[in-house]
C-alpha cells in the first residue's frame, strides 16, 4: 500500500497517496485543473501548459499533471496570475494554427473551444500565423487536419500505450512541429495502423475526425478509451 501524504490544495488539507501528481490530488478533492493534453489512462505529457499551478516556496509555475505531490506542499490552482497565463496559452494555441469554429465538424464538441469559453477567452490578442497546412484524407475512414491540431500528443500516446501500433509521432521542432504517421507517410499508407480509431476519439479538437461528418456532428468518446486503459491496469 502506498504511503499517505498531506497536501494543501487552495487552503484545503487533502490526503493523497505517495506518487500521485498534483493534478490527481486536486481532481480527487473537487478542485479540477484545466488541461488539454491530459487524459485519464494515458501518460502525462505536460505539453499544453494549461494546468500550471502555484506551489508555495517555488517562484515558477509548475505543470500539475507531471509534478508529484509532496508531503507538506501547498498548492494554489486558481489566481489572477494563473488565469492570465491560461488565457494567454489558449490565445497562442488559437493564433498558431487555423481554428475556424464556424465550419468545424467538432464545433460544440471541442475541448479547446469549451475551455476558451469557460476561461473567458473572447478574443485573441496575438497576430494569427495563418500557416498553409495540409489535410490528409488518404485514410479510408478518417481525416487528419493539421490546421486544427494543438500538438497535445494524445494521439501519439494512445497509439503507443493502448493500441500498441506506434503509428504517430511528432516531427520537426517549435512552431514547425507536426503530427506525422510512420515517418511522414500519408496516413492511408501507414502499414502499422489498425484503423481502430482510438486516436480520433481522444483528439480534443477537429484535427482527427471521421469522414462524412458535417459541421457540429463530430463527437468524441474519449471516456471509453480511458475505461479501456483502466481495465487493462486491473487485468494486465
Tens digit of each residue's pLDDT (9 = 90 or more) over 195-223:
999 999 999 999 999 999 999 999 999 88
pLDDT of residue 62: 97
**Model confidence at 76: pLDDT above 70:** yes
Confidence tier at 3 by pLDDT (50, 70, 90): confident
Whole-angstrom Cα distance, residue 230 to residue 42?
10
pTM of the model: 0.92
- Looking at 78, 96, 116, the residue that finishes a domain is 78
Whole-angstrom Cα distance, residue 138 to residue 146?
14
- Tell whether 111 and 45 lie within a shared domain: no
Q: Chain-centre distance of CA 58, in angstroms?
A: 25
The answer to whether residues 23 and 51 touch, using CB atoms and an 8 Å cutoff, is yes
- Tell whether 198 and 133 lie within a shared domain: yes
pLDDT of residue 104: 96
* Residue 59 CB-density burial (10 A; 0-12 exposed, 13-18 middle, 19+ buried): exposed
- Tell whether 142 and 56 lie within a shared domain: no
- Tell whether 129 and 21 lie within a shared domain: no
Number of separate domains in the chain: 2
Tens digit of each residue's pLDDT (9 = 90 or more) over 153-199:
999 999 999 999 999 999 999 989 999 999 999 999 999 999 999 99
Q: For the chain, what is the mean pLDDT?
A: 94
**Model confidence at 1: pLDDT above 60:** no
Give CA torsion, residues 49, 215, 96, 187, to 10 deg. Answer: 90
Tens digit of each residue's pLDDT (9 = 90 or more) over 33-45:
999 999 999 999 9
Q: Which domain holds residue 66?
A: 4-78
Q: Work out the average pLDDT over 128-148.
A: 97
pLDDT of residue 224: 82
- Tell whether 11 and 102 lie within a shared domain: no
Percent of the chain at pLDDT > 90 equals: 91
- Tell whether 99 and 168 lie within a shared domain: yes
Whole-angstrom Cα distance, residue 145 to residue 232?
31
pLDDT of residue 126: 96
Please report, for the domain that includes residue 133, its CATH number. Answer: 3.30.70.20
Amino acid at each position: 500500500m502506498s504511503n499517505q501524504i498531506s497536501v494543501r490544495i487552495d487552503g484545503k488539507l487533502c490526503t493523497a497517496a505517495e506518487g500521485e501528481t498534483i493534478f490527481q490530488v486536486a481532481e480527487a478533492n473537487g478542485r479540477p485543473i484545466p488541461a488539454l493534453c491530459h487524459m485519464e489512462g494515458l501518460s502525462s505529457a505536460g505539453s499544453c501548459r494549461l494546468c500550471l499551478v502555484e506551489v508555495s516556496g517555488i517562484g515558477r509555475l509548475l505543470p500539475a499533471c507531471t509534478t508529484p505531490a509532496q508531503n507538506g506542499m501547498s498548492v494554489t490552482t486558481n489566481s489572477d496570475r494563473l488565469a492570465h497565463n491560461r488565457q494567454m496559452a489558449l490565445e497562442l494555441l488559437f493564433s498558431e494554427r487555423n481554428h475556424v469554429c464556424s465550419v468545424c465538424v467538432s464545433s460544440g464538441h471541442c475541448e479547446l473551444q469549451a475551455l476558451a469559453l469557460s476561461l473567458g477567452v473572447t478574443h485573441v490578442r496575438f497576430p494569427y500565423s495563418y500557416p498553409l497546412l495540409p489535410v490528409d484524407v488518404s485514410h479510408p475512414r478518417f481525416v487528419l487536419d493539421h490546421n486544427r491540431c494543438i500538438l497535445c500528443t494524445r494521439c501519439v500516446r494512445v497509439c503507443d500505450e493502448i493500441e500498441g501500433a506506434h503509428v504517430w509521432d511528432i516531427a520537426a521542432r517549435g512552431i514547425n512541429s507536426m503530427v506525422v504517421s510512420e515517418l511522414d507517410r500519408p496516413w492511408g499508407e501507414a502499414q502499422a495502423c489498425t484503423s481502430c480509431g482510438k486516436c480520433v476519439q481522444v483528439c480534443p479538437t477537429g484535427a482527427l475526425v471521421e469522414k462524412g461528418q458535417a459541421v457540429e456532428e463530430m463527437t468524441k468518446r474519449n471516456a471509453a478509451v480511458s475505461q479501456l486503459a483502466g481495465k487493462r491496469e486491473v487485468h494486465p
